[in-house]
Amino acid sequence: MEKAAFEGWLESVSATYLTLNDQQRNQSLDHLISLSGAAQLRHLSNGLETLLKRDFLRLLPLELTFYLLRWLDPQTLLTCCLVCKQWNKVINSCTEVWQGVCRKLGWRIDESIQDASHWKGVYLKAKLRMMQLKDQEAFETSSLIGHSARVYALYYKDGLLCTVFSVDYNDELDVLVSGSADFSVKVWALSAGACLNTLTGHTEWVTKVILQRSEVESVVHSPGDYILLSADKYEIKVWPLGREINCKCLKTLSVSEDRSISLQPRLQFDGRYIVCSSDLGVYQWDFASFEILRVIKMQDPANLSLLSFGKVFALLFDNRFLYVMDLRTEAITGRWPLPAYRKSKRGSSFLAGVTSWLNGLDGGNDSGLVFATSMPDHSIHLVLWKENG
């Protein structure tokens, strides 16, 4: 066919081809391929490889490449690292991608570290730790033996485990506060050992006291004010506490006005939020407004108790297991078997250890004591983090 005639024919066929639907186009291509010889099929193979197998990581600007990589799940990212050296180099240089996957696992991110390879390593370590939690391999147990009689209460602060009952203290104020079975809260001078004040108003045993600075403002307190929280079976009382020791109750919190719902002796306060477990589940109050922000309902709240509550994880336990809950999904991400221990009604015979990891794991805070409880044989059973291999 002459060149001019061929170009006219090709233009006519192309115009007709563009009017076809997708199925008709596919049938046309299949027919043309069936009529082609070796030279045409070789030409088609080379052309398709150029069109369909483009290396977008090489061709796109880095900004667009990093944007696309953010949409990939971590396992796919790791697989892509194995494609070639160039892909591995590009993926390992995207700090935001690896920081993002670490953040999704509940890992705390230090924005000052912009080394992508560091965060890739953190992710691999984080993934291993989360798998250990899921497979009941994250913790190990130990025992403290030496008491000749029953251990009624445990207290842990700043790495020290002691056998005392419902106290908290502040060195700056030179004050120690204690809760008692006589329904009162006492304020003591640490240096002198003298009782400064007795706070009354509770009608049940005071099973928990917390002394903490407020980090928010409301109509009854300001940021920086020292606040004392005390809890009994039904109520949480909020007291101001500063250099002036005499004080009146600012607020009383409860989950039922008719006292039909009991609070468990697991109270927590970080200056912004008050958290306490109950017969219905875990309640979280906003300290600025004293409004209930959140109620985490659990399958068996009467037996499942709160140990500690963070920004990312919560630590809970019942008669058989220690549980780690992801607060973003309220799903249990790991558990650890517990021996037959003595669970006191006051909640003084068991406690959480180091709790900074509940605000997000960072690769360094998953160590030390996780949980401790007294045992019928007078020993203290410990649950500790295993070294993350």
Would you say the C-alpha torsion 16, 18, 19, 21 has a positive or negative sign?
positive
- Please count the other Cβ atoms lying within 10 Å of the Cβ belonging to residue 137: 14
Domains parsed from the chain with CATH numbers: 3-52 (no CATH), 62-135 (1.20.1280), 148-266 (2.130.10.10), 298-388 (no CATH)
Confidence band of 10 (pLDDT split at 50, 70, 90): confident
| Whole-number Å distance between alpha carbons of 349 and 162 | 11
Would you say the C-alpha torsion 254, 258, 264, 265 has a positive or negative sign?
positive
Give the pair of three-digit tokens for residue 350: 């068991």
Range with lowest mean pLDDT among 58-67, 94-103, 122-131, 182-191: 58-67
Instruction: State the average pLDDT over residues 81-101.
Output: 84
Instruction: State the average pLDDT over residues 9-15.
Output: 88
Cβ–Cβ < 8 Å for 213, 225: yes
CA angle in degrees (0–180, nearest 5) for 219-221-224: 145
Q: Which helix (H) or strand (E) holds 187?
A: strand 185-189
Length, in residues, of the chain: 389
228 pairs with which residues across the strands? 211, 239
Summarised one tens digit per residue, pLDDT across range 144-195 is 776 665 555 555 555 545 444 578 888 888 888 888 878 888 888 888 878 8
Q: Residue 145: which of 379, 339, 383 has the closest Cα?
A: 379
| Whole-number Å distance between alpha carbons of 274 and 279 | 17
- Output the DSSP codes for 228-251: EEEE-SS-EEEEE-SSS------E
Give the pair of three-digit tokens for residue 228: 């004392």
Instruction: State the average pLDDT over residues 67-91.
Output: 83
Cβ–Cβ < 8 Å for 91, 81: yes
DSSP β-ladder status, 273-278 and 263-269: antiparallel
- Residue 291: what pLDDT? 93
Confidence band of 293 (pLDDT split at 50, 70, 90): very high
Reduced to 3 states, what is the DSSP secondary structure of residue 102?
Answer: helix
Summarised one tens digit per residue, pLDDT across range 239-253 is 988 655 567 888 999
- Fill in the amino acid letter for 348: S
Q: Choose between 116 and 155: higher pLDDT.
A: 116
Q: Residue 177: which of 164, 191, 166 has the closest Cα?
A: 166
- Residue 99: what pLDDT? 86
- Residue 50: what pLDDT? 67
Summarised one tens digit per residue, pLDDT across range 27-47 is 998 898 898 888 888 888 877
- Residue 162: what pLDDT? 47
